[in-house]
Amino acid sequence: MGRAFVYVILGGGVAAGYAALEFTRKGVSPGELCIISEEPVAPYERPALSKGFLLPESPARLPSFHTCVGANEERLTPKWYKEHGIELVLGTRVKSVDVRRKKLLTATGETISYKILLIATGARALKLEEFGVDGSEAICYLRDLADANGLVNVMQSCSSGNAVVIGGGYIGMECAASLAINKINVTLVFPEVHCMARLFTPKIASYYEEYYQSKGVKFVKGTVLTSFELILVKEVMAVNLRDGSQLPADLVVVGTGIRPNTSLFEGQLTLEKGGIKVNGKMQTSNDSVYAVGDVAAFPVKLFGETRRLEHVDSARKSAKHAVAAIMEPKKSGEFDYLPFFYSRVFGLSWQFYGDNVGEAVHFGDYSSGTFGAYWISKGHLVGSFLEGGTKEEYEAIAKATSLKPPVEDLAELGQQGLNFALTI
Ligand code: FAD
């Protein structure tokens, strides 16, 4: 039994949705394109899961955040796919791929063949067991809609209770904020000396930590979770930390990083940086196979090296670029991408562009709520961070970062602050 398509998108997340929209814009014909996804719903904006989805009042629910609303594009509901003759094969895991024979095998036993395959399998949340901690079904992760529904259910059953959030990255930070908004007592635990250690400087981190503390969130830094104490099978009561302390926990959320879903392609495609290596057209080591989003390691021109990015903007834009390369190979150039990511918690909102290497120069008034930092490497601006900016200010730091202007005097740059970007 088998079906054949010209184009198959493997994975039904953010990149898949944006790719589908671009395929229709580039003139794909009805019946030519198929999306296969393990998730039971059409592609949606994953970042909503740790933000609007967890709000106590008027929470975001599908269909409101199907792609591609996150970039102010059309909202692609299942009806849209039907109207465009795009086959959505949902709730179906692909269990093997033969790139030489251009065939996929699904867990339901169906063989689907393609002429061009677009891999958009994203990533999975790292589980505590992978760090040597015995797991428990009472622990929540947050990667997909099923996880988010599970978290909402636990959250509702322990109102005013205690939550321990493990991990000080953006999932941990956003979850902690949402739980606090739901009036749950939150303790955020992570091994680093401050939150968002991969991006924030100590000065930036201390602003957010103080803000969180003002909302009742507690921080336990420099330690990790080692085990659980259970009162009933599958019910968490307390967590034990490596530093010997114990925290009460009606709810545990773990956000300790992700691993790209590459396993179907190991031994078949070239891998790099933990992902599937692609060229500037998002094409893998096999001419008929492209990769986009969290799973793709692509050349970032601005840095002169291959990177794998785990952010929604990169998923959207790499998907669009790959489809243009597939449909109009002669017209499309190399992907020229300025890394960008953002987060929104409580009433705060920040954006970051470029790379956080070299020396950080802080600017702005940290007590006013509008402040930021530039990163200078080898005499050039390579990265910019801004909290509380206007649309124009965010656009200005993005533009300045993409131009990589020379910077000689760091003290003067700090004094100029946002004006440096606004007048470039
Ligand atoms: P995904 O969106 O993860 O989609 C992958 C899809 O592939 C899934 O549907 C999965 O089920 C499917 N799949 C995988 N393997 C198979 C298989 N074998 N068979 C069938 N289907 C398969 N980024 C930001 O920049 N800012 C944010 O504020 C932000 N917030 C986030 C909040 C949360 C809770 C999460 C989880 C992520 C957030 N991100 C954020 C990151 C962003 O969502 C990801 O970068 C983006 O979703 C990547 O898109 P993708 O299509 O590559 O992968």
Which residue would you say has higher pLDDT here, 110 or 368?
A: 110
Task: Say which residue the tokens 């602050």 belong to.
Answer: 417
Q: Whose CA is nearest to atom 32 of ligand 1?
A: 47
- Tell me the percentage of the chain whose pLDDT exceeds 90: 86
pLDDT at 232: 53
- 119 alpha carbon – ligand 1 mean position (Å): 12
Read off the DSSP letter of residue 112.
E
By the 8 A CB rule, do 284 and 291 touch? yes
Give the CA radius of gyration of the chain.
22
Decide whether any atom of ligand 1 lies within 6 Å of the 294 Cβ.
Answer: yes
Please choose, from the candidates 142, 126, 183, 153, the residue with its C-alpha nearest in 3D space to the C-alpha of residue 49: 142
By the 8 A CB rule, do 358 and 376 touch? yes
pLDDT at 367: 87
Which residue would you say has higher pLDDT here, 237 or 91?
A: 91
The pLDDT confidence band at residue 132, using thresholds 50, 70 and 90, is confident
pLDDT at 152: 96
Decide whether any atom of ligand 1 lies within 6 Å of the 167 Cβ.
Answer: no
The pLDDT confidence band at residue 128, using thresholds 50, 70 and 90, is confident
Looking from the CA of residue 122, the nearest atom of ligand 1 is 53
Decide whether any atom of ligand 1 lies within 6 Å of the 188 Cβ.
Answer: no
- 46 alpha carbon – ligand 1 mean position (Å): 6
What sign results for the dihedral spanned by CA atoms 53, 59, 62, 65? negative
User: Is 136's pLDDT higher than 80?
Assistant: no
Please choose, from the candidates 399, 392, 311, 404, the residue with its C-alpha nearest in 3D space to the C-alpha of residue 15: 311
Tens of pLDDT along 43-85?
A: 999 999 999 999 999 999 999 999 999 999 999 999 999 999 9
pLDDT at 233: 45
**Range of lowest pLDDT (11-15, 94-98, 165-169, 233-237):** 233-237
The pLDDT confidence band at residue 261, using thresholds 50, 70 and 90, is very high
Please choose, from the candidates 74, 72, 6, the residue with its C-alpha nearest in 3D space to the C-alpha of residue 42: 74
Mutational pocket test of ligand 1: of 22, 36, 46, the residue with most ligand atoms within 8 Å of the beta carbon: 46
- 369 alpha carbon – ligand 1 mean position (Å): 30
Looking from the CA of residue 39, the nearest atom of ligand 1 is 11
Which residue would you say has higher pLDDT here, 284 or 133?
A: 284
By the 8 A CB rule, do 294 and 260 touch? yes
The pLDDT confidence band at residue 234, using thresholds 50, 70 and 90, is low
User: Is 358's pLDDT higher than 90?
Assistant: yes
Looking from the CA of residue 344, the nearest atom of ligand 1 is 28
By the 8 A CB rule, do 351 and 362 touch? no
Mutational pocket test of ligand 1: of 294, 295, 313, 348, the residue with most ligand atoms within 8 Å of the beta carbon: 294
User: What is the SS3 assignment for 289?
Assistant: strand
The pLDDT confidence band at residue 160, using thresholds 50, 70 and 90, is confident
Decide whether any atom of ligand 1 lies within 6 Å of the 317 Cβ.
Answer: no
Decide whether any atom of ligand 1 lies within 6 Å of the 120 Cβ.
Answer: yes
Please choose, from the candidates 229, 247, 237, 243, the residue with its C-alpha nearest in 3D space to the C-alpha of residue 165: 247
Average pLDDT of the residues of the chain: 94
Which residue would you say has higher pLDDT here, 385 or 135?
A: 385
Tens of pLDDT along 170-189?
A: 999 999 999 999 999 999 99
User: Is 109's pLDDT higher than 80?
Assistant: yes
**Range of lowest pLDDT (83-97, 219-233, 271-285):** 219-233
pLDDT at 236: 58
Decide whether any atom of ligand 1 lies within 6 Å of the 401 Cβ.
Answer: no
User: Is 268's pLDDT higher than 60?
Assistant: yes
Mutational pocket test of ligand 1: of 36, 140, 312, the residue with most ligand atoms within 8 Å of the beta carbon: 312
Decide whether any atom of ligand 1 lies within 6 Å of the 12 Cβ.
Answer: yes
Q: Whose CA is nearest to atom 42 of ligand 1?
A: 312
Q: Whose CA is nearest to atom 35 of ligand 1?
A: 47
Q: Whose CA is nearest to atom 52 of ligand 1?
A: 293
Strands (E), 180-267: 185-190, 218-221, 225-232, 235-241, 246-248, 251-254, 258-260
Tens of pLDDT along 201-216?
A: 999 999 999 999 999 9
User: Is 336's pLDDT higher than 90?
Assistant: yes
pLDDT at 1: 62
- 340 alpha carbon – ligand 1 mean position (Å): 16
